[in-house]
Amino acid sequence: MFVLSTGLRCSVLCLTLLWVVGCVQTKPVPGYARAGDRIVLGLGGIERNSGGEAVLKASDLSITLTDASSVEHDLEALFVFKSFPDYAARLNAGVIDGQIDLFGLSGMSAFDGGWFVVVPLNPPGMLETPLPLAVGAATVEITSPKLTNIADAMEGDLSAIPLEIIAGTSARDGDYDRQFVGYTQYGDNFLIAPDNLAGVSQAGGAFLEIEYNDDSFFAAGAEPMVVPVDHNPYVQLNYNHIANGDGTGTLYVTLLNAAGFSDEANATQNTTPLSGLAVKLLYFKSSATSAVTQAKASFSINAANSYYIGTDGSILTGISPVLTHNADL
């Protein structure tokens, strides 16, 4: 039986990701695998299937494979990463002009990305040992409190993603594993997001003041950065970094969308989902051994000068920005 080489698997993966961003994959990549191989599973749209969740970790996922002999095997999530389509991708055009609905994919969001996970067909923590898998049709089930399994007619079902197990075993391929590392999330960051969106259907943006008290924590020449959580082209994010000369400083952040941030009921072509009101604060520490506790002690939000605004520019009451380290998400 034909088995994909590592190089060919990489090519097929790159092509396949272009088509499955935004919804759950109907099959893993590759769709045929031996015990000991790596498969890549598409977990669905970041907005559509995880409500715009800014962080999804391996520890958030529970993955089980049921083989052709009905034996269940626990699997490990090795790497989790995001992928976004090109702005001119067919997915975005199809959502905007409504053509995507003709294919039975409801609730898709333009410019939405997708979550993907690399899964070894090995026992958890035993990457050199292939699982004892029965040859034949198998299914993979993925559950997570951060994922919603919509399972429309034209997409995959997270409770039963089909995989064909073929004869033989594969030794661990470290080169194949390493190619994903650079796309996984960097842990040295904070999420700044609204504490409560209950009752909020529309917003215009946010103004944030992020303060730090010790710049010796930063790597030489590497200033902290503020970036959007997604790739929506209508989000306008600007920030100005003011260093006080005594080791302290402030980042003044403006986050806007002229068309607004909105829930699904009020969405228009140029609005951004409410999840886009979140931003990430990236920092680059001076020592690889610097503790998360040091980062938490270094950064804070000036609550008095940080707020969200409505589409008319007025301050939204009952909603405040919260700074949370990636380690706590």
Which two structure tokens, joined as six digits, stand for 234? 């209508």
% of the chain with per-residue pLDDT over 90: 78
Q: What is the mean pLDDT of residues 59-82?
A: 97
249 and 240 Cβ atoms separated by less than 8 Å: no
Reported confidence tier of residue 141, pLDDT bands at 50, 70, 90: very high
pLDDT for the residue 16: 40
Residues 255-269 pLDDT 10s: 999 999 999 999 999
Distance CA 271, CA 288 (A): 40
Whether 264 contacts 110, CB under 8 Å: no
What is the model's pLDDT at position 217?
85
pLDDT at 152 over 90: no
Confidence check: pLDDT of 52 > 60 = yes
How far, in Å, CA of 323 to CA of 301, rounded?
7
Write the CB contacts of 192 (distance below 8 Å, at least 6 apart in sequence). Answer: 208, 210, 226, 278, 279, 280, 281, 301, 321, 322, 323, 324
Q: Is 96 left (phi over 0), alpha (psi -120 to 50) or beta?
A: alpha
pLDDT-derived band at 17, boundaries 50, 70, 90: very low
pLDDT at 270 over 80: yes
pLDDT the model gives residue 289? 64
pLDDT band of residue 23 (cuts 50, 70, 90) is: confident
On whether the pTM is more than 0.85, the answer is yes
Domain ranges of the chain: 6-183, 189-328
The per-residue pLDDT for range 234-257, each reduced to its tens digit, is 999 999 999 999 999 999 999 999
